[in-house]
Structure 1
Amino acid sequence: MSTAANAIDGVWYNVYGSKMTLTSNPATGLIIGTYSSTTGSSGRYTVLGYTRSSSTGPVAGANGFSVSLNIGWKSLDGGQGDPSWSCVSGLAGQFVVDAGGNPVLNLIHQFVAPNDVPLGGTQQFQTGISSDKLVYTRTPPAGAVAETGGSGAAMPQLPQEAVAAQSWTCVEDPGISFTQYEPYEGAFSGQYVMHGYSGPLAGQYDAAFPGDGAFYQSYCLSTLSQDPQTGAPMCVALAGWINPASGKLEVLEMRSVGTTWDARYAGVRTRGLTFTPG
């Protein structure tokens, strides 16, 4: 287990050896961290997200804590840019304890490629959204990203001033809307309203668009909300892009709720949504 103040804090590894380092605010549930990947990218990347506001973690046999994360794939360490820098990821799932009593992050991952992204050889991410399941534990597998003391470039900070920059309303579900505040280096905060419940949000987008040649402007956000039926804590992730032809935000919505380890397959619900400005 992590020795950090909050149970979700510290270093997590997935089966590919990628490393995610998280720090959370127990009062608000806000998560800020970094990601180091072994799958087609190098360097460190910004992680933002939300989880249930708590200084403790889930326990064996009880429901997990819902989690929503997003990653902006522009390297914090600088260097030569490539098509992957236009991409973002949205992740949703839960922080749960497995049958052996071990803490696990069980997440559904949506990788948003607003342009084709070469992976080496003949492989590439084609323009679109690629989905997979990622499981993170505290134990690094063989070949994992090594621990380093390097700091690299500073991670972007969320805006401190609540200056409204853009509001969006959902076409398919008009009870959902949100306002993002003035962004800073591709990161933004704001307020997310779901059927009368208002919660904070944190997100990222491709700040270099359209100069980077991407077809769409990638966009993702995470918010802490509540289940409309039960009132239980629920985290929501949106991952997709702004279509320059229509000006609309086209995303996959992922809603994550806490379940027991045995019922973890039912922890995330996904659907496609469209948002219009205003």
Structure 2
Amino acid sequence: MNRFVLMPLAMMATVFSSPAVSAPAQIGPAATSLRVGNSTVIALRDMLNIVPNDGSVFGKDVGSKQVAAALSEAGAPTDRITLGVDALFVRQSGRNVLIDTGLGPKAGGALMASLAKAGVKPDAISDILITHSHGDHVGGLVTATGARAFPKAAIHMSAAEWVWMQQKGDPALVAAISARMKTFQIGATVLPGIVAVGIAGHTPGHVAFQIGTGGSRLLDIGDLAHSAILSLGHPAWIIGYDTDGLAGRKSREAWLARLAASGERVFAPHFPFPGIGRIKRQGGAYAWQPDVRGID
């Protein structure tokens, strides 16, 4: 149950340890841009992921009734959790960088159409940075026929994550990208102005990417948090997508406190599109504050 496949209805069940079957839903392309220091950053929409509220993914330790109560309080449907599946493009001097690639064309993902809306062609991508190797982040590395989707791009993944992907991932996908893979150590400056920040618990080599420096920066949080309602409102709840639920909870609680204190703007690929905003304290937990100031 740990093979990485690119099939829409079975993807989450096979990629993650949870038995829940999610239903990725097609949605139209979208591209939303902003400036981060000297870089142009563009949020790119791929798909939606509809997760059933059956207690196997969200709130594994508290059950579906408590999850339903939290969803109801937020005015959301109580039988399901809707997550975005999005990616981030960064245009630097001399580089066109894509962070994660969504579910991919086999699942009907809109990433390529979103890139087209942003005026970016696949062969213009010079580098792809991968937060982790779950299928909703690496599926778009290949076309529907299994060829590399971004033929000129170097692919960057943490060394620990690449080892895990070679052990647990789809062999065809691993074979397709191996020749372009460049690994890095967690904490490294992967590209100029982009640092890989380790976030433990989700997968063995899961990272976030810090883009920019000083007062002009953006943190792509990867899968630190999945639901703007549940992950923020109840960060202590165990999530089935984490390979180590207790370590994931520890990371989530520590990082949310840090981000709320700093006020740093983040990109959350599973939050409502465009997934750009800030984490705010709300009572004993947190809330999502979209922040699109300065966004085109």
* Same fold at TM > 0.5: no
More helix by share: 2
More strand by share: 1
